[in-house]
A and B are shown apart, each in its own frame.
Chain A
Amino acid sequence: MISELDLEDIQGNIVKAYGRYGFPLARFVFYRVEDAEKGRLFVQRVTPLVTTSAPWSKKLKVDIPAVAINIAFTYEGLKSLDVPTDTLHGFPDEFTMGMKARRAILGDTGPNHYKHWDSIWNHPDDPTAQSVHILIGINGKSDKALDACYQEICGILEQTGGVTQLKGHRGPNGAEDLEFQPANALAGGTEHFGYADGISSPYFEGCGEDPRYIVGGGKPTGQDPASPKGWEPLAAGEFVFGHPDEAGGFPEAPGPPLFSRNGTYLVYRKLHENVGSFNALIEEEGKKFGSKEWFAAKLSGRWRNGAPLVSFPTEEGANRFAAELGMLKGKVHNKTATEAETQRYRELQLKLTAFDYTNDNDGARCPFGSHTRRNNPRSALEFGVKGAFKTPGALSNRRRILRRGLPYGKVEDATRNDGDHGIVMMILNVDLSRQFEFVQEQWINYGNDFKLANDRDPLVGNHGSDENGRGAGRMVIEGDTNKPPYFCSGIPTLVETRGGDYFFVPSMTCLRMIARGLVDPT
């Protein structure tokens, strides 16, 4: 057990979902290091700007800043900055190989293949090589603050030289060569399919976040999921190096210990959303199923307004819940809520995450194959056998991932797939293979763990197509006593990869060591 992490040493995006702090905008900027010494100077100058995980709270008199900055490096990036070979050899294969080389595991085939990615990801001399070295993410409250920060970093780059800012992001109106990837929250906190996003996030020991988020965010204890007794914080070592993980050991990390301690891995993925295909699917299948919104909810496991299907099986109930939650949220944010209203708001907010699938073992409310039940099964892999394992989350506690994403682009025509819109997905974990890649390979692009043969995640799976070019995705929507099961076929691939890579997110100490060339693995 850790009571506290050294939050001042841990980069801010690891514990903070910036969206929760009112940062709707972001720019993701990528660089290639041409000269190691100048590159280290660039890192050295940027380091003081980097946002840490130290809590922002009125109680501690720490204001929320106007921007939050984080920095991360690919394997080739660390190499280009002269991180010693012995340290580099300590990285696991999946990190040294990079995202493109892991495409068979990730399902980045067919339309997801890197030949369809934004040009920034494809090295001009060798498309298979890792092109990007450094990622700087800037999250901001306003475009003005964002731009000021971006200009400051551009200024540093101009002074130090030796580092090239990489262009080549696709953008609106057919743009191919944006100098950074912009991202922006959509009205109502949804993504482009209209689902409320970023609702639940793993809660781990010592993270310093509001303990209320343990409910539904921690690991299940087997007790009432609606109460704090039903959850415990996950071990910090699942998300931050240098601390015990859920297996009771320390996650493997490159040496020296100071290099990896308080760091983690970041998965950056630009995911295009085929909005036209999605809308056509819910329109057509919704008619046959009985209701468009209900069908959309069955794909996800949540209604598009965020209400979980398990707790809100009817559209009417879900809408009533969402309307009240929205109204109270407004009052609480505008500081016009009474104490009773604030209390009620907290209660309702909890309902978004305070559930498990104990009372839905036949999938009648939330299908086994739905997106949220697959990606965060909670205790559902016990399949209703209480005490099947030592702990109800035995098969899922080691597969948790932190998600830090934001939508990008704007949908111009909701009947079409083209254009540039989707989600910049960022995932943080200490073991790319055991956590992110496992979820992607086994839970998104396969179905065996859910007794669903080779069915894939209906929303984000790579479904392929049949000989007539029709989507080959399938999903069983379990029935109940009043409704027969519904078998949905012909699901097209709704989300396509447009770029990405694996990054190492160093601690503040490690950043300074890299910048000064002080990493000494001997």
Chain B
Amino acid sequence: MANQSGNAYALTALFPILHGVPTKCPEGMEGQTHTACVRHLLQDVLRVSEDSPMARVPDTYLSRFCILLDVPYQGAPTVLEHLKSNYLVFEVNFHGTLEPWLAGMWKAIEPEVRSLLQNCYGFDKVTDCASFIDYVKKCQIETTFFFEGSTDEPVAVQLKNLYLKQEFSHFVFANQGKSAAELKAAFEEFVARTQPDNLEAPTWRPGAYQLETATVGRKVMGAGTQ
């Protein structure tokens, strides 16, 4: 089935960006178009990478925003075509089904969603979570291509798994060769500290993309970055 693969859902939505210059725009962007404002928000305001607002949306595997300016021209003899507007492309893979996940997104980052989508056609009709869900569904296109680097588990389980895997490898290196009694004691300490059944904490931080910043309190020195 398109959009759904196991417990993973892939959403692609194309939001048409308004023509012209907004009456209210971000600071420093006076006189710039809606498209420029969207790009400014994506590049400079809604912090990218680890501090992305999308990291706060529950059960999100991966998400990307980009701006589609036009369709590429392949050269003669193909016909030169244009889109009627620019589009804000939103691609996301998440665990679960569409409506509850969108509701979670609205709840977690409504101000950020508003700041972006107020530059898009039809968003002025959105007044609450239900109308936001309707709006996204109107802009949705079928998705058959999924992000590979993820299992079928909820994100919290995956993050805990990664955390435990990393911690367990440290445990193995630290405790190799110990007697059975010492090993048992060390393992009990490990279980008490890492709390394998507790998905809340300790675990990896959602949105982290570097080992060094995934967990607080364990610093791994690299080989130097000069």
- Does A474 lie at the interface of the complex (its beta carbon under 8 Å from any beta carbon of B)? yes
Contact A465 B221, beta carbon cutoff 8 Å = yes
Q: Which residues from A are CB-within-8-Å of B224?
A: 109-111, 113, 462, 464
Q: Which residues from A are CB-within-8-Å of B221?
A: 464-467, 472
Q: Which residues from B are CB-within-8-Å of A288?
A: 176-177
Contact A464 B173, beta carbon cutoff 8 Å = no
Q: How far is the CA of A110 from the CA of B224 in the complex (A)?
A: 5
Q: How far is the CA of A48 from the CA of B43 in the complex (A)?
A: 59
One of B173, B176, B220, B223 near A107 (C-beta < 8 A): B223
- Does A489 lie at the interface of the complex (its beta carbon under 8 Å from any beta carbon of B)? yes
- Does A389 lie at the interface of the complex (its beta carbon under 8 Å from any beta carbon of B)? no
Q: How far is the CA of A113 from the CA of B172 in the complex (A)?
A: 32
0/1 string, A200-213, CB within 8 A of B gives 1: 00000000000000
Q: Which residues from B are CB-within-8-Å of A472?
A: 220-221, 223
Min CB distance, A343 to chain B, in Å? 47
Q: Which residues from A are CB-within-8-Å of B177?
A: 288
The secondary structure that dominates the A interface is loop
CB closest chain-A residue, reference B224: A110
- Does B219 lie at the interface of the complex (its beta carbon under 8 Å from any beta carbon of A)? yes
Contact A474 B173, beta carbon cutoff 8 Å = yes
Contact A110 B173, beta carbon cutoff 8 Å = no
Contact B172 A487, beta carbon cutoff 8 Å = yes
Q: How far is the CA of A445 from the CA of B177 in the complex (A)?
A: 28
- Does B28 lie at the interface of the complex (its beta carbon under 8 Å from any beta carbon of A)? no
CB closest chain-B residue, reference A115: B226
- Does B72 lie at the interface of the complex (its beta carbon under 8 Å from any beta carbon of A)? no
One of A110, A467, A487, A489 near B223 (C-beta < 8 A): A110
Q: Which residues from A are CB-within-8-Å of B77?
A: none
One of B176, B223, B226 near A464 (C-beta < 8 A): B223
Q: Which residues from B are CB-within-8-Å of A486?
A: 176
A–B Cβ pairs within 8 angstroms, 25 of them:
A103-B226, A104-B225, A107-B223, A109-B223, A109-B225, A110-B223, A110-B226, A111-B224, A113-B224, A113-B226, A288-B176, A288-B177, A454-B211, A462-B223, A462-B224, A464-B222, A464-B223, A464-B224, A465-B221, A472-B220, A472-B221, A474-B173, A487-B172, A487-B173, A493-B223
B-binding residues in A (CB < 8 A)? 103-104, 107, 109-111, 113, 288, 445, 454, 462-467, 472, 474, 486-487, 489, 493
Closest 10 CB pairs of A and B: A110-B224, A464-B223, A109-B224, A489-B173, A462-B223, A487-B173, A110-B223, A487-B172, A487-B176, A113-B226
